[in-house]
Structure 1
Amino acid sequence: MDYIHVKDMEFYGYHGVLAAETAIGQRFRVSITLAVDLHQAGETDELEYTVNYAEVYMICKEIVEGEPYKLIEAVAEQIATRILATYEGRVKGLRVEMIKPDPPIPGHYREVSVELTRGEFQ
């Protein structure tokens, strides 16, 4: 299996359980790994045989900067669902990591994140 990685995309959204999160908003980072057969794209040098990662970026941007969700799990699920539907048959599987670098919880840590995997991965 071949993979396309789009790492550390950064967006500003209004997701969270606390009122302050939905009022003020915060930064979110998203990393995506797509399982795709890239053999034909490599041989032909044609975009039609791969996944346009500029479009993947825009899907992530629309979802993260769009409708607020309480849970980052829900945001990650929306991203996975949309990418799989958009590239049905081409994307065999994907991994979405949704990162909340500054959650409003006390303590010292770098970030919190969820990671979900859908479809085929080796």
Structure 2
Amino acid sequence: MDKIVLNGCRFYGYHGAFAEEQTLGQIFVVDLELAVDLVKASRSDELADTVHYGLVFEAMKRQVEEVKYSLIERLAGAICEDLFAQFDPIQAIKIRISKENPPINGHYKSVGIELERSR
């Protein structure tokens, strides 16, 4: 299956199991891979024959920046549900969400989750 990929999308949101996370907020980094049949678009050169990744980005942004979840697992699930509802050509989604500064004592680049969903 062909893929549309959005990597390193950065958003400021208020998700987390701790009150401080839901009050202070933090940056969330989202990597998204959409399984889409791109044969028609690769021949036609028409935006209507693909999934507009600008609209996908805006849908992700709304979920991350306008809604609060305790778990990033739920945030990722909500993004998948929203994208499937809005974009019929999407057959499967792989999403990774990372927090670079979670309230964990230690040294690391980030922590996060990855989900894979399909219709």
User: Which bin holds the TM-score, normalised by the shorter protein?
Assistant: over 0.9
One-letter amino acid of the structure 2 residue matched with residue 49 of structure 1: D
Alignment gaps of 5+ in structure 1: none
Normalising to structure 2: TM-score of the pair?
0.97
How far does residue 85 in structure 1 lie from its aligned partner after superposition?
Answer: 1.1
Q: How many residues in Structure 1 have an aligned counterpart in Structure 2?
A: 119
2:96 corresponds to which residue? 97
Root-mean-square deviation (Å): 0.9
Q: How do residues 39-118 of structure 1 correspond to structure 2 at under 5 angstroms?
A: 39-88=39-88, 90-118=89-117
Could you list the structure 1 runs, at least 4 aligned residues long, displaced by more than 2 angstroms after superposition.
none
Q: Secondary structure at the match of 2:91?
A: strand
1:7 corresponds to which residue? 7
Normalising to structure 1: TM-score of the pair?
0.95
User: CA–CA distance in 2 between the matches of 1:62 and 1:118?
Assistant: 20
Alignment gaps of 5+ in structure 2: none
